[in-house]
Chain A
Amino acid sequence: MSAAYDEMYAADRKVREHYRGYESWLAAQSAQTMTNKRAEADLVFRRVGITFAVYGEAAGTERLIPFDVIPRIIPAAEWQQLEGGLKQRVRALNMFLNDVYHGQDIIRAGKVPADQVFKNSQYRPEMQGIDVPGGIYAHISGIDIVRAGAGEYYVLEDNLRVPSGVSYMLENRKMMMRLFPDLFARNRVAPVAHYPDVLLENLRSVAPQGVDDPLVVVLTPGMYNSAYFEHAFLAQQMGVELVEGQDLFVQDSAVYMRTTRGPQRVDVIYRRVDDDFLDPLVFRPDSTLGVPGLLSAYRAGKVTLANAIGTGIADDKSIYPFVPDMIEFYLGEKPLLANVPTYKCRNRDEMEVALAKVPELVIKEVHNAGGYGMLVGPAATKAEIEEFRAKILRDPANFIAQPTLALSTCPTYVEAGIAPRHIDLRPYVLSGSQISIVPGGLTRVALREGSLVVNSSQGGGTKDTWVLEG
């Protein structure tokens, strides 16, 4: 693994052009000032209650996601490139979903193997033939992007089910503006605070046909969910109700919420509950988070779910290698953003190459997410490597393998001062009557030295993400 690309410094510690303003400002701050500011940030996050629950710990345990005060900065030209690539990719992914659940042209054209789709647990036969407004399935997408090598951008993962983290994008910015107002006077940072507005507009634009003034709600699993803060935050910022499954019911194929003045019709549900839990009559019967009959209302076109049911078939890791082909197939364009080269272990020859190189590779279970069920070869013990080899041999189709990318690093506060730490980026792409992206995203940082795992559940932190205006 070669030395990683550093976002701030080029060779010989020369500061990159777009970081010059920030770097000179930082050099002028006393260590004490920065220590105080970091303590203040911690205090405010606690008071504001920007916390997440950690699964596996006692119910109601709340933790802060560590926030690093050194921003990740993206120059205007790079962002433009990213933005174009993201829009293209999400457009193709939505077309793929529409195709999978209708004519299946791409399968008949032999671009994506049929069994990859139909034998995939993320494929929802219940969605076959259902028309959704505008043919949009993934209304909110979080696309994970990394930089490697000499700074090339790669898409690492598409998150099309219930991607989270956008509240941190917004709160991190708010925090930075509060801690360091002078920085924003000196740098032209593109604002992100209008995201909830764009989101609401986007959700309203996909209401069922014939609804003029749609009622939008956010559906949460409840206050013990790890992302509850975000659900409440987005509902509040959009000025819509935050509902739980028990607040909704279905009657005559329409969805209503229980209010103090009786039932009220609901048109669009921004749901942050997984497919499996949405409707106990169809999916998991033991789910208390869902709404009995919701699927029937959805199928009847009386309510819009955002994201749609069954989007997992497009962001599954076993489908990921086919996304560049989708872009060419549906749009007739070359992909603007590259995929990470991927070995599909289901193909015997690719598996054999992968097996031989496990110590150098990242192995991922295709249906897992959140940093769970993966092996980072170079950081793994011999025993772990053998364990994964055995796992792959037992069920090859369940795994993909990728080269271990030297993720780019960004200077970050650690115990011993400032040191480079690996980062990624998750911009949020909104699809409705049009596609829009707020300039920025969530930058996650792996705080442990050398670690490549940025997930908050695995000890990752976050940074404010600046897109500079041209």
Chain B
Amino acid sequence: MLSRTADHLYWMARYIERAENTARMLDVNMSTSLLPQSAEQAALGWRAMLGISELQAAFDARHPLLTAADVLDFMVRDPNNPSSIQSCMQAARENARAVRGSLTTEVWETHNDTWLQLQQRLAEGLLQRDPQQLFEWVKYRSHLSRGVTIGTMLKDEAFFFIRLGTFLERADNAARIIDVKFHDSGEGQELLPAGRGNGIGHKQRDFYYWAAVLRSVSAFEVYRKAYRDVITPERVAELLILRGDMPRSLAACLNEVCDNLEKVRNSRSGEVERRAGLLRAELRYGRIEDILHQGLHGYLTGFLERINDLGGRVSQDFLVPLAAS
């Protein structure tokens, strides 16, 4: 297929996935900010979220003070923030429009309709009135676009590039979501491998934090089902990083990335496949104890760098128009 077409499809998928994960992150922050805590602690939560999204500086440049309302506005509707939900959905829609001929009618209409409805919702003040309903809606529109894609598109290259975009973006965002909770729950302390049940001081607060992380990736019930036990940070980390059967875990994302890379393989993609495969193998055979021993933040930072490297290579090998050869 055309490199340019593949590029639009890939980014269409990345942007809608990013919008979803931003909504998830905001949603969980809203929930935790409602817990009894000091105003400073609440602000810390929002700040951590901006930090992990690498948006702190951009936010500070526009807002002298940090308030929840300003963060929400910045992350949801600010057109100057390329990662705001509105910017992402617009970018997804523009990419879809550029290649609407390569999409099924349903896929295109889903993206177009999402965009039109978002504008309407924002104009009606839903963000101010009921932000969590808006986040819920964003998640469902993303579910819908994925479902329509799977349910109507031919399983050919177009489909594989869409999937590749979805899971590279999800891997990146999921790692950030895990990391943000580390930032704001630990007050700088590393999550160290602790003896089982070795309660960390504020046990109850921790429960709410980790439950919120789980909820943000729709994994609360999954956790209960998988462990049938109390919530511990180690297991949460294990579930979200290493469990291949948990659809938003890093391991699951890498499985999909590798599978789809293999399907679009070309004469120059050997190296990106090797690197993705190596990362997959590490997740498949890794142990959470070792990751925690190394330090979760350090581990996730390294992971993000590797995802970024894979993204760059995908662009280079497939998406930049190949010169005559």
Name A's B-contacting residues (CB within 8 A): 46-49, 218, 222-223, 231-233, 235-236, 241-244, 246-247, 249, 251, 256-263
B109, A241: Cβ atoms under 8 Å?
no
B113→A241 contact, CB < 8 A: no
| A246 touching B4 in the complex, CB below 8 Å, given contacts A49-B109, A49-B112 | yes
Chain B residue, CB-CB nearest to A252 = B324
B interface with A by C-beta (< 8 Å) = 1-6, 94, 97-103, 105, 108-109, 112-113, 116, 157, 161, 264, 266-267, 318-319, 321-322, 324-325
- Closest 8 interchain pairs by CB? A236-B101, A235-B101, A232-B101, A242-B101, A258-B321, A232-B100, A260-B318, A49-B112
Q: Would you call B2 and A256 a contact (CB within 8 A)?
A: no
Partner of A259, one of B3, B108, B324: B3
Q: Are B1 and A236 in contact, CB atoms less than 8 angstroms apart?
A: no
Q: How far is the CA of A47 from the CA of B119 in the complex (A)?
A: 13
Contacts of B157 in A (CB 8 A): 260
CB atoms of A247 and B101 under 8 A apart:
no
**Complex-state Cα separation, A259 to B102, whole angstroms:** 14
A-B contact pairs, 22 of them (CB 8 A): A47-B113, A48-B112, A222-B98, A223-B98, A231-B101, A232-B97, A236-B100, A236-B102, A236-B103, A244-B4, A249-B324, A258-B3, A258-B4, A258-B322, A259-B322, A260-B3, A260-B157, A260-B266, A261-B266, A262-B266, A262-B325, A263-B322
CA distance A223 to B4 in the complex (A): 13
List A contacts of B324 (CB < 8 A).
249, 251, 256, 263
Shortest B157–chain A CB gap in Å is: 6
Contacts of B5 in A (CB 8 A): 241-242
Roughly how many angstroms separate A249 CA and B321 CA in the complex, as a whole number?
A: 11
Residue ID in chain A nearest B103 by CB atoms:
A236
Closest chain A residue to B110, Cβ basis? A47
C-alpha gap A251/B325 in the complex (Å): 10
Interchain CB contact under 8 A, B100 and A247: no
How far apart are the CA atoms of A251 and B323 in the complex, in Å?
11
CB distance from B286 to the nearest CB of A (A): 32
CB distance from A106 to the nearest CB of B (A): 40
- Report B-chain residues with C-beta under 8 Å of the C-beta of A261: 266-267
| Closest Cβ–Cβ distance, residue B318 to chain A (whole Å) | 5
Chain B hits for A231, CB < 8 A = 101
| A contact residues around B318 at 8 Å (CB) | 260
Question: Which single residue of chain B is at the shortest CB-CB distance from A44?
Answer: B109
Instruction: Give the docked Cα–Cα distance between A452 and B103 (Å).
Output: 38
Judging by beta carbons under 8 Å apart, are A260 and B6 in contact? yes
Q: In the complex where A47-B112, A236-B101, A262-B266 touch, is A247 in contact with B322 (Cβ < 8 A)?
A: no
Once the chains are docked, how many angstroms separate the CA of A262 from the CA of B317?
10
Q: List A contacts of B103 (CB < 8 A).
A: 236
From the candidates B94, B98, B102, B264, name the one contacting A260 in the complex (CB within 8 A): B264
Q: How far is the CB of A246 from chain B (nearest CB, A)?
A: 7
Q: Is the CB of A247 within 8 A of B112?
A: no
In the assembled complex, how far is the CB of residue A465 from the closest CB belonging to chain B, in whole angstroms? 22
Nearest chain-A residue to B160 (Cβ)? Answer: A260
A258 to B4, CA, bound (A): 8
Residues of A within 8 A of B264 (CB): 260
**CB within 8 A of A262: which of B105, B108, B267?**
B267
A222 CB contacts on chain B under 8 angstroms: 98
List, in ascending order, chain B residues with CB within 8 A of A247's CB.
2-4, 321
User: CA A235 – CA B108 in complex, angstroms?
Assistant: 14
Known A-B contacts A49-B109, A246-B321; A257 and B2 likewise in contact (beta carbons under 8 Å) = yes
In contact, A233 and B325 (Cβ under 8 angstroms): no
Given A47-B116, A243-B2, A247-B2, 12 new contacts (CB under 8 A)? A48-B105, A49-B97, A49-B112, A236-B100, A242-B5, A258-B321, A259-B322, A260-B3, A260-B6, A260-B322, A261-B266, A263-B324
Residues of B within 8 A of A246 (CB): 4, 321
Q: How far is the CA of A56 from the CA of B160 in the complex (A)?
A: 39
B2 to chain A, nearest CB (A): 5
User: Cα distance A229–B211 when bound, in Å?
Assistant: 46
A218 to B102, CA, bound (A): 12
Tell me the complex Cα distance, A236–B98, Å.
12
Q: Which residues of A contact B267 (CB under 8 A)?
A: 261-262
Q: Which residues of B contact A232 (CB under 8 A)?
A: 97, 99-101
